[in-house]
């Protein structure tokens, strides 16, 4: 890392020489503006809007727009008279509990490294901050601007977090804050259950920038001359009327299943939307049951009617068969009688 600032932490009568390093870096994939047809880089010229002439850096000043076409021009001499600290000092103003500093105030983080023989007082201040469980509120002039900041300890190194000034924080003015919205105890209990089921220990390494990774794959594929296709994400369309309790229950079940926990969620009182849906389903089930019973009764009668002619036909077919069997038995008896009469006549001869 390269130091971007050198100065000293002023702690009472103790001065601690330090170097300042940027503690963060953005990993965004950066692009250049180019001509679509030939890939040529796009360049911009500093042109005056009045005379249309290109302006050199030395001729550029800073102007404050008053509106209505009026402009106040400030020169380097005007800025030189401002009460901006040039002592390159980080002045410690007070020590406060860390929880009293709203995270919305934080802007950018820097590492502080002791310089030269300042290691011992640096370690002394670092250990004192850890022991007291407080952070130091400081003022520092960085990049032509005086900034409020905190000094805290992270991984054995002091970190300078620059902060926004109070008037740089916007007030949250939204109409719903004036509405009288009531939350039922059952809904609050279910929401708390969802929070409990999703509670864990934060580890930033568990999360990834999916968009940046996908974009890098597209770039790599372009470089290698390949084509890459990504599956379409499934978007769940919310219904017009949302049953809040049902959605919370489903969310709790999903969170428990993701954690390998299974078990029924303690039921709560039904909401008006849930009760209406249950009544509608019960009515539909009753209607389907009545319709099924009627269909079954009609089918039984039709089957009985079809069975009756079949029995009559079988009976009619069975009658000639019986007559034929009787005739056969009569013929057989006659043949036996005739044979008996012929037998004595052969013995007499």
What is the predicted pLDDT for the residue at 229?
A: 58
Assigned fold of 5-25+69-168: Ku70; Chain: A; Domain 2 (2.40.290)
- pLDDT over 50 at 332, yes or no: no
Q: What value does the mean pLDDT take over residues 327-336?
A: 46
HEC secondary structure over the chain: CCCCEEEEEEECCEEEEEEEEECCCCCCCCCCCECCCCCCECCCCCECCCCCCECCHHHCCEEEEEECCEEEEECHHHHHCCCCCCCCEEEEEEEEEHHHCCHHHEEEEEEEEECCCCHHHHHHHHHHHHHHCEEEEEEEECCCCEEEEEEEEECCEEEEEEECCHHHCCCCCCHHHHCCCCCCHHHHHHHHHHHHHCCCCCCHHHCCCHHHHHHHHHHHHHHHCCCCCCCCCCCCCCCCCCCHHHHHHHHHHHHHHHCCCCCCCCCCCCCHHHHHHHHHHHHHHHHHHHHHHHHHHHHHHHHHHHHHHHHHHHHHHHHHHHHHHHHHHHHHHHHHHHHHHHHHHHHHC
- Select, from the ranges 12-16, 71-75, 121-125, the one with the highest average predicted confidence (pLDDT): 121-125
Q: Which residue has the higher pLDDT, 152 or 306?
A: 152
How high is the pLDDT of residue 18?
96
Query: Would the pTM of this model clear 0.75, i.e. be above it?
Result: no
Q: What are the pLDDT digits (tens) for 24-80? A: 998 888 899 999 988 899 998 999 988 999 999 889 989 999 988 899 998 888 887
Mean pLDDT for the chain? 78
pLDDT at position 250, please? 83
pLDDT at 236: 57
> What share of the chain in percent tops pLDDT 70?
68
- pLDDT value for 51: 92
pLDDT band with cut points at 50, 70 and 90 for residue 144: confident
pLDDT category of residue 13 using cuts at 50, 70 and 90: confident
pLDDT of amino acid 283: 60
Three-state SS string over 129-160 comes to HHHHCEEEEEEEECCCCEEEEEEEEECCEEEE
Confidence band for 281, pLDDT divided at 50, 70 and 90 = low
Domain coordinates of the chain in residue numbers? Answer: 5-25+69-168, 182-198+242-284
* Mean pLDDT computed over 261-290: 53
Is 108 or 280 the better-scoring residue by pLDDT?
Answer: 108
What are the pLDDT digits (tens) for 243-253? 777 887 788 78
Q: For residue 81, what pLDDT band results from cuts at 50, 70 and 90?
A: confident
The answer on pLDDT for 273 being more than 50 is no
């Amino acid at each position: 890392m390269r130091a971007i600032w050198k100065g000293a932490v002023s702690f009472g009568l103790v001065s601690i020489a330090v170097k300042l390093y940027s503690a963060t870096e953005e990993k965004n994939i950066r692009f250049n503006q180019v001509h679509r047809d030939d890939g040529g880089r796009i360049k911009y010229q500093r042109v005056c809007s009045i005379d249309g002439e290109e302006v050199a850096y030395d001729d550029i000043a800073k102007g404050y727009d008053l509106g209505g076409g009026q402009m106040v021009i400030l020169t380097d001499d005007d800025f030189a008279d401002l009460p901006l600290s040039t002592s390159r000092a980080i002045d410690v103003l007070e020590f406060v509990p860390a929880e009293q500093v709203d995270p919305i105030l934080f802007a950018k983080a820097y590492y502080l490294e002791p310089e030269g023989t300042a290691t011992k007082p640096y370690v002394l201040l670092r250990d004192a901050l850890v022991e007291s469980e407080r952070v130091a509120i400081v003022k520092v002039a960085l990049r032509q601007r005086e900034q409020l900041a905190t000094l805290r300890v992270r991984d054995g190194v002091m970190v300078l977090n620059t902060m926004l000034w109070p008037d740089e924080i916007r007030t949250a003015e939204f109409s719903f804050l004036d509405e009288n919205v009531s939350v039922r105890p059952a809904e609050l209990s279910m929401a708390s259950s969802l929070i409990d089921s999703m509670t864990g220990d934060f580890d930033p390494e568990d999360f990834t920038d999916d968009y940046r990774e996908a974009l890098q794959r597209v770039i790599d594929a372009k470089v290698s001359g390949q084509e890459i296709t990504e599956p379409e994400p499934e978007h769940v369309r919310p219904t017009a009327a949302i049953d809040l309790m049902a959605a919370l229950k489903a969310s709790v079940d999903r969170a428990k299943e993701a954690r390998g926990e299974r078990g029924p969620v303690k039921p709560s009182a039904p909401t008006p939307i849930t009760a209406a849906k249950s009544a509608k389903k019960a009515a539909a089930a009753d209607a389907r049951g009545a319709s099924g019973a009627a269909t079954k009764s009609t089918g039984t009668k039709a089957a009985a009617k079809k069975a009756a002619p079949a029995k009559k036909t079988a009976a009619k077919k069975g009658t000639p068969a019986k007559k034929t069997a009787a005739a056969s038995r009569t013929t057989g008896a006659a043949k036996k009688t005739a044979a008996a009469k012929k037998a004595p006549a052969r013995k007499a001869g």
